Structure 1
Amino acid sequence: METSSDGELKIDYVLVYREPVDKWRDIFEPHVRLVGHVSTLVSLPHPIPDTRAEILRQRRQYRQIYQRRLIEAGLKIRIVSAHQAKRRYFVLVHAPSHILEKHSDIIGLKKKMNKWTLPDYKTTVVQFFRFFMFWRQEEPEPHSNEQQQQPGGWSLSDRALVVRDLLARTNYGPHHENEMVGLQSMLNQNIYTTAYPLHEPSELARKLSKRKESVGNEEGNDDEETTEREWLSFHWASFFALFMQQPLDVVRSYFGPQIALYFVFFGSYISWLVLASLPSVIFRLFSTWQDGASHKLNILSERVIPRGVCQEYRNATKEILICPQCSLNCDFESLTHICDHPLALVYTSHSLAPLIHSMIICIWAAIFVQYLRRQEARFVHRWFLMDNVYDEEMLRPEFVRANVKRHTFNAITGRKEPAHSKLHRLSVLSLQTLTIVLMVVMILGVNFGCLLLKYHIRSAMLHILNHPLDRFTIIGAAIVAALVHSGTILLLNWISQKTCLWIVEWENPKTQRAFDDQYSKMIFIFEFLDYFAPLFYIVFVRTMVSIWAVRFGSESNLLSFNGPWVKWFVDTCSYTCMEELDQAMIVFFCFTQIFREIFKAFWIWVYGVFRRVCLRSQKGCYLPPWERDFFLPQFSKQQLCYDHLRLIIQFSFVVLFSASFPFAPFLALIVNIICLRADAIKWTKMARRATPKMAPSIGIWMKLLNMIATFAVPFNGFVLAFTTDIVPRLVYVFKNFHNATQYGLGAEYFDFVYARFDTRNMTISRSMHKNVTECRFYGMYKTPCSLAPEDDTCSNTVERSPEFLQIFFYRVFFMSCFINTVFGVTWFLKLMFPAEPESVKLAKKQEQFKAQQALAQVQTMSTMNLALSMSRENLPCDQRCLQRRASLIRDEPKEEQRDDESTNTEEEEDEDAE
């Protein structure tokens, strides 16, 4: 338990201020005098003739007024100086129990009936298998040490919540000015430099404290209580506790409801990632077995080029060449070379497994959001957060200082409240729209720059290799460009954070909750565009260009292979766009998500080692807890927003691109198991203790999760229908199943999806293939008459084959079937499992019944008393007379006794007078 130096008061909050040193030091040197736990200031001998000194004097006056009014509000404070900085002072604030009882109702804080005790978990082998239940919280077990219960039943976060609310409501103006209210306003004006609740001592700090107190004593008192911070450090905020359940009740008791609900969300997400990663592993194994099996199921094998095509053309006398994959410095590719290359087996997007996996992931996302609502409802009811009043939040100091003249009527509170004018809101909306447009233009410019970079890398590789580029060299260039693009994404994230903060501060919302919601929305929009704009470009732009644009043929009026615009402004896919989407998804997800989180965990480990070495090197050095916490870094107000945003972006990666990268849930599971403990270490050990805040839910992030889960259904349907080869293969299978070979789809399917092109008019510099008359490219076009004059369906111009529109309509039909099926299943499951569990509904009804029963008892007692009084008045006359006579008889002796006493006292007074 953290106490002041006298060992009596528990420190709930710490305020820090600093008196700078200048030439007027002797004039405004504060002469601190403790009077009733508050410091008073001796009056100055004469005014300070300096503007800076006048500002310092005014700040000191505000501090004195503020601290005096805190004393009047019932708080106890103590001012101490720092050990290492002579001009720094700490104001230690303590809230007595009666103040906690009085002000807990104002902030909607309920006191628990039963005192919380620390659970005693044991690390066993069974805990290894409990990572499936990260969201669960075992009921606290009774502990033998009763001193671990907080005094009066108030947890550390509850005490800090009450004190922070009192600090925010106290006025520091000499005449109670409206704009001079609250601690945050004083922090903004640098009256106080910082403020923070106090951490409980760690094990090392307590050893140093004990070493200081017991100098010369050989034996020390080892029977000390375990603090919540120590227990969390060993059983939760540690990488050795990876597979232990989260003590969410302890987290709520120490950090408050807002951070506890974040870890509820984090733990639930990790637990459901286990369910999402199982199908990816199963379908990967199934696809591998399917590729090696020799039966007709291989019509939906995972290869870019079906295995049956490779087997039939491997022994062909005539070599099959694939047309160049780019219009600049690319050469023909042999079909046999593509089939034999190891990267040909990387992509799993052309099998039936991604279809089933995408449906499972979309249903998983919708049910996860519904489950998170149910889990949130359980913990909100368990922690008594449902009765908090959030419509009467205090106004932000920045909003108060803006002197808003316009007022609107609040239908809930029934009062007029200040609000921004319509002109201000219109200007804010215009600025937000303009900023979003500029950010979109910037992101498109970055994408175009990375596209040009990819072509320049190809040119550089051409000069280095001294031969035309093949498919896999092009893949390497695309991966290098994607790595550079990932670095620009991190830079754009930093720009987005600064831009959003500036816009929201200029908008100046009325309350802090409105500020956080608006900032969360804007930063999500910007970072969502930063991360997913290049992927959306591949899915929508390149896919549709590849489907509709005629890439070959000099007779085409649309595009020409040798034309100047094709080299730089036409970026199409070689086969299907799923291959390049796979590459970009792997690079972006691994670099921006996995690598960054691993680096953060490594930095936390290095920081912990460095801090332990530094503290152990200072033998006998002891700092008070308030000064020790002062040297810890303090997170920004938006830190929890960034943590939520990181999980939302990762959830978007997992859900939106499950078809292109099925292993995303599995990698996210591994990373998040580590990141959960990294976040716990960050909040528990690496920084000052966060100010507890009340929160009824995770806020706007729940709406964003629901929006992403809903958008994932049509998006995955579009990806499967248009960027993969599933629909053409299914159409061909149902029409020509009898033509399938023992290895699956054969040469006829290759002719079905790969068109022929006459290359006799095509010139490629430094080509390794000579005398090439035709090549194949992905697309459904009629065969040129120069290659097949006997074919009646040939064409001298570049025309689509009759199957093209048929396949296109089948793609649209497939997408609509996918969307309706997934939405139907999710609607049925949500109907079966409502957002509020039946147990919570039953508990609320029980509480309501008990409250009504207690109210009925009070009303019954009041009715009985009223009936008794009325019955006395309605008695018959004779009975009333008898009762009145009996009362008079009882009162007569008393009156006679009083008369005797009065006469005796008069006689005594007369004797004294004589």
Structure 2
Amino acid sequence: MSFSMCVRENPDGMPPPVGERSVERIGVRPAREHLAGGFTFAEFPISLTLLTAGRCVNERCFSVLDAHTPNAAIVSIPCLTKENSRAGECSVFDFSCMHTSISEILKEKTLKSSRRSLPCLAQSQTHPQNLNHFLSVPLSPEPKSYTQSASASCTHITPPPPTDTGQDVYTEEREAEEIKPKTDETLLVQKNTMSRGKLEARIDSIKGNKLEKPTGLMFRDGKKRIDYILVYKKSSPQVEKRCTFERNLRAEGLMLEKEEKVLLHRLEEKNYGQGSYKSRHPIKTHGAQNHRHLLYERWARWGIWYKYQPLDLIRRYFGEKIGLYFAWLGWYTGMLIPAALVGLFVFLYGLFTMDSSQVSKEICEANTTIMCPMCEGNCSSWTLSDSCVYAKVTHLFDNGGTVFFAIFMAIWATVFLEFWKRRRAELTYDWDLIDWEEEEEELRPQFEAKYSRKERVNPISGKPEPFQPLTDKLSRLMVSVSGIFFMISLVLTAVFAVVVFRLIAMEKFASFQWEFVKKNWQFATSGTGVCINFMIIMSLNVVYEKVAYLLTNLEHPRTESEWEDSFALKMFLFQFVNLNSSTFYIAFFLGRFAGRPGDYNKLFNRWRMEECHPSGCLIDLCLQMGVIMVLKQIWNNFMELGYPLLQNWWSLRKIKRAGEQSKSKEELPQWDRDWNLQPMNTHGLVDEYLEMVLQFGFTTIFVAAFPLAPLLALLNNIIEIRLDAYKFVTQWRRPMPARATDIGIWHGILEGIGVVAVITNAFVIAITSDYIPRFVFAFKYGPCVDKGYRNEKCLRGYLNNSLSVFDMGEMKNGSYHTRYCRYRDYRAPPWSPEPYDFTLQFWHVLAARLAFIIVFEHLVFGIKTFIAHMIPDMPKDLCDRMRREKYLMQEMMYEAELEHLQKERKKTGKRFHHEWP
């Protein structure tokens, strides 16, 4: 195995041209504070090399500076200063991690202009650059200013002397060791600039007087900083591709030095060497009080589970994309607190009223009520009182608070999404992402390679780019959709197999010799069915993940964001169907087609269809949701943390077996330790979002049947945040930072789940639960019809009213000791003129159910729409700040243009009288 360590290099020892590109801030202060003309100053090592924040390669800009790498201390000078406001010029300088000495900087030659080194946006003026403008300690001899071409110029800005101005000064990681920990801000913010003695000490260190001992973050000479690692096998068949990649790097003006197990590359995210390298990852930082250490102490430790997440620090170390994920996860977890409390209140209400429930009382006291046998032949009849426990457990989840909680959760989902929009707007503003668009993303190398011969002019940039014809896109999309439907049909087939198992298990458990199992055949059937269904779900997830990956690559998405959105949509559709198909069966089909005694509907004329318990089918749905939700969360947490821990332990064990017992884990270089960690999955954050979105679906879609779902989700997410934090900081290689302004396609999926949740809960309350039959009985057939009020006493006689009578003499098989038995339905008795026909009460209940669905949906959708319009997507103070900035920018642009026109008129000697309209 060979390792390639990336370092920023400069061709010919010269600085690259300066280009215009916004660079992320080091500190906590928003960049909007720069509008007053000030700038943020950062401490930096005096090993100075002027770098650009953007260059053009193949007529497309890429970043040389990694704005998310905390090892880089950046001085960001804004465009809106007095010296350069007319031309709108910006300059960004990187003073960190460079091996170039001061003597080499002083010998810099005139910059050579070439097509590959042209800046992305050429400056309008040229200015000499003097190194001493950035030093409080003058250098000797005085460096001569070098000239630059007009196309590659840089702006000359003289900063004020380093006095105590009261402004925040952001320190580099290595300086954080000297700061005493006080608060979150004092570890990252220092009030005074660097002292003169510290500058002199750094100059001596760079000149070689005080060389530091090489660490795992540096090359062996102790000067070159490692930023990126490329790993490959020497015996790999992709040697030719790797050599081509290296030639491309040399063509870009980069130096490549080959040493033992070391090959220098620059920090670049392009997949030029795809297939020829086994790993590409930025190196982790180490040492006391650096960003990684702070993240572990303030984020990844279990002892701080109750504290807020350091989102700014997460964003600075991992990038905006991962920062937004943890911001959304924290927001979702916080919003679960009121939902969990209300759900717990509904559950406790059912618990306290369980013994006083009229329906439960009648079931537990029905010692003489004989129920019809559950199967034909070996099954015997049973008394209704045998299911007393089953009825009491059902009351815990099917009580008077069910409707209220369903409406509450529908409103909660809307409030959660609307307030997340406001939170996202604040984060994008603070993280300087307002003006960033996905059009700035680069094309995927696979897309460029596939459609490089077909080009069109980009309507935004005006430059030619590869183009995918519409016919080719539609044909690939049709193949992908066909694959998705095939996999969904496979899931439905698996659900059908589970249904058949439940039918077989029902007969076996009902005729079981063990009396305990025979009395609790409902729990036994549901429990075994849920466990088998869970194993099928997890097995199909593994298969479909690979299928979705192949189908997404077949579509050839244009950018990485489009690839992730397409892959995420496929994974969500499949896993949503895979996870909820059996739940939908239990909620809306279980017991609806069972028939009646003497005329049961049978599957394949062999197995009798399953029917509901006399107290309803809601307990089966509740059991299905509870078991799957708990088991899935346990499995996911194990795969996220337990599995990487085992893999990392096995990797270290293999190293020791290979003869490196003499080196402990601490003695290995940092890049070697990073290689032994597990890589972040190729899908990025898709799996993380998918897990939480599916949990959101479980929390909202069937919440009427399981009010404890928000509480379980809250407890899981508290653990999930710390698990993910520990995993990202200690168990995974550091992922490549990426920018994003929102959570992508997941927001639309969450809104769709909110709509589905309203419809589903309406059907669960109306069809699955016994809320509507009890309501109709209380106001139409109960003892309180003429009294005008309703309470538990009004349900007296409900159980007897909801059970029909069957003449057991009509049974074809078996001999029974009683003449009549009862079953759950609204049918006429055998002695009526029309035996076993539906009664009038059946049609009243059906009409009430349909009416409830319509009223519930319209009411809840109306409330959701009203709330969504009442809550703005952006806070008012943030809107005012953005408008103020826009106004100031327009004023400054106008003043600059006016000054330019006045100078032009003075040159030409003409005087014009301008009349304002």
User: Match for residue 718 of structure 1?
Assistant: 763
User: Match for residue 534 of structure 1?
Assistant: 582
Shift in Å, 1:803:
1.6
Q: Using the alignment, how far apart are the partners of 1:874 and 1:366 within structure 2?
A: 60
The percent of aligned pairs where both chains have the same amino acid is: 23
Shift in Å, 1:831:
1.9
1:247 to 304, 310, 315: 310
Distance 1:639 1:121, change over 3 A: farther
Contact between 1:323 and 1:333, CA under 8 Å: does it hold in 2? yes
Distance 1:146 1:762, change over 3 A: farther
Q: Using the alignment, how far apart are the partners of 1:543 and 1:13 within structure 2?
A: 67
Distance 1:227 1:182, change over 3 A: closer
Q: Using the alignment, how far apart are the partners of 2:883 and 2:187 within structure 1?
A: 25
2:893 aligned with 1:855: yes
Contact between 2:375 and 2:608, CA under 8 Å: does it hold in 1? no
Q: Superposed, which structure 2 residues align to 1:321-360 within 5 Å? A: 321-326=370-375, 330-339=379-388, 341=389, 344-360=392-408
User: Match for residue 386 of structure 1?
Assistant: 434
User: Match for residue 285 of structure 2?
Assistant: 200
Contact between 2:772 and 2:849, CA under 8 Å: does it hold in 1? yes
Contact between 2:827 and 2:837, CA under 8 Å: does it hold in 1? yes
1:262 to 314, 317, 325: 325
Distance 1:274 1:677, change over 3 A: same
Q: Superposed, which structure 2 residues align to 1:71-220 within 5 Å? A: 116=170, 142-143=189-190, 172=248, 184-190=270-276, 192-201=277-286, 206=287
Shift in Å, 1:93:
9.2
User: Match for residue 561 of structure 2?
Assistant: 513
Distance 1:434 1:599, change over 3 A: closer
Q: Using the alignment, how far apart are the partners of 1:76 and 1:138 within structure 2?
A: 25
User: Match for residue 50 of structure 1?
Assistant: none
Contact between 2:498 and 2:529, CA under 8 Å: does it hold in 1? yes
Q: Using the alignment, how far apart are the partners of 2:422 and 2:314 within structure 1?
A: 20
Superposed CA offset, 1:243-273 (max 9, x none): 1110000000000000000001110111011
1:581 to 597, 611, 621: 621
Shift in Å, 1:140:
8.6
Distance 1:527 1:13, change over 3 A: farther
Superposed CA offset, 1:562-611 (max 9, x none): 86746426344344332221121122111112443256455567789999
Shift in Å, 1:655:
0.6
Contact between 2:379 and 2:511, CA under 8 Å: does it hold in 1? no
2:354 aligned with 1:291: yes
Corresponding residue SS for 1:760: helix
Q: Superposed, which structure 2 residues align to 1:537-616 within 5 Å? A: 537-542=585-590, 544-545=592-593, 550-553=595-598, 560-561=599-600, 565=604, 567-568=606-607, 570-575=609-614, 576-597=616-637, 600-602=640-642
Shift in Å, 1:468:
11
Superposed CA offset, 1:482-518 (max 9, x none): 1111011011111111000001111111222111111
Letter in 1 for 2:804: A
Corresponding residue SS for 1:505: helix
Q: Using the alignment, how far apart are the partners of 1:372 and 1:121 within structure 2?
A: 36
2:860 aligned with 1:822: yes
Q: CA RMSD in A?
A: 4.6
Q: Using the alignment, how far apart are the partners of 1:430 and 1:359 within structure 2?
A: 39
User: Match for residue 893 of structure 1?
Assistant: none
Corresponding residue SS for 1:542: coil
User: Match for residue 43 of structure 2?
Assistant: none
Corresponding residue SS for 1:188: coil
- Structure with greater helix percent: 1
Distance 1:652 1:491, change over 3 A: same
Contact between 2:372 and 2:823, CA under 8 Å: does it hold in 1? yes
User: Match for residue 497 of structure 2?
Assistant: 449
Q: Using the alignment, how far apart are the partners of 2:380 and 2:884 within structure 1?
A: 76
Structure 2: runs of 5 or more not aligned: 16-56, 67-95, 112-116, 123-166, 203-216, 218-224, 231-241, 253-266
Letter in 2 for 1:862: H
Distance 1:441 1:609, change over 3 A: closer
Distance 1:774 1:741, change over 3 A: farther
Corresponding residue SS for 2:438: coil
2:821 to 769, 775, 786: 775
Shift in Å, 1:725:
0.5
Superposed CA offset, 1:613-652 (max 9, x none): 9999956962332232222221122131110100001100
Q: Using the alignment, how far apart are the partners of 1:801 and 1:604 within structure 2?
A: 61
Contact between 1:331 and 1:468, CA under 8 Å: does it hold in 2? no
Q: Using the alignment, how far apart are the partners of 2:552 and 2:783 within structure 1?
A: 60
Q: Which moved more, 1:744-753 or 1:491-500?
A: 744-753
Distance 1:342 1:609, change over 3 A: farther
Q: Using the alignment, how far apart are the partners of 2:724 and 2:803 within structure 1?
A: 51
User: Match for residue 212 of structure 2?
Assistant: none
Q: Using the alignment, how far apart are the partners of 1:471 and 1:383 within structure 2?
A: 62
Letter in 2 for 1:838: K
Q: Using the alignment, how far apart are the partners of 1:799 and 1:721 within structure 2?
A: 22
Shift in Å, 1:754:
1.5
2:291 to 209, 223, 228: 228
TM-score w.r.t. the length of structure 2 is 0.69
Shift in Å, 1:274:
0.8
Q: Using the alignment, how far apart are the partners of 2:248 and 2:188 within structure 1?
A: 46
Q: Using the alignment, how far apart are the partners of 2:622 and 2:596 within structure 1?
A: 23
User: Match for residue 750 of structure 1?
Assistant: 799
Letter in 2 for 1:172: N
Q: Using the alignment, how far apart are the partners of 2:665 and 2:637 within structure 1?
A: 37
Q: Using the alignment, how far apart are the partners of 2:896 and 2:439 within structure 1?
A: 30
Corresponding residue SS for 1:755: strand
Shift in Å, 1:465:
1.7
Contact between 1:398 and 1:508, CA under 8 Å: does it hold in 2? yes
1:364 to 406, 409, 412: 412
Corresponding residue SS for 1:738: coil
Q: Using the alignment, how far apart are the partners of 1:616 and 1:282 within structure 2?
A: 58
2:684 aligned with 1:639: yes
User: Match for residue 682 of structure 1?
Assistant: 727
Letter in 1 for 2:273: L
Q: Using the alignment, how far apart are the partners of 2:249 and 2:170 within structure 1?
A: 40
Corresponding residue SS for 1:246: coil
Contact between 2:699 and 2:710, CA under 8 Å: does it hold in 1? yes
Distance 1:824 1:329, change over 3 A: farther
Q: Using the alignment, how far apart are the partners of 1:146 and 1:655 within structure 2?
A: 52
Q: Using the alignment, how far apart are the partners of 2:639 and 2:228 within structure 1?
A: 38
2:852 aligned with 1:806: no
2:450 aligned with 1:402: yes
Q: Using the alignment, how far apart are the partners of 1:656 and 1:513 within structure 2?
A: 28
Corresponding residue SS for 1:545: coil
Question: How many residues are matched?
Answer: 716
Letter in 2 for 1:199: K
Shift in Å, 1:707:
0.8
Corresponding residue SS for 2:280: strand
Q: Which moved more, 1:830-839 or 1:447-456?
A: 447-456
Distance 1:37 1:511, change over 3 A: same
User: Match for residue 875 of structure 2?
Assistant: 837
2:361 aligned with 1:307: yes
Letter in 2 for 1:673: I
Q: Using the alignment, how far apart are the partners of 2:547 and 2:805 within structure 1?
A: 52
Contact between 1:359 and 1:822, CA under 8 Å: does it hold in 2? yes
Letter in 2 for 1:580: D
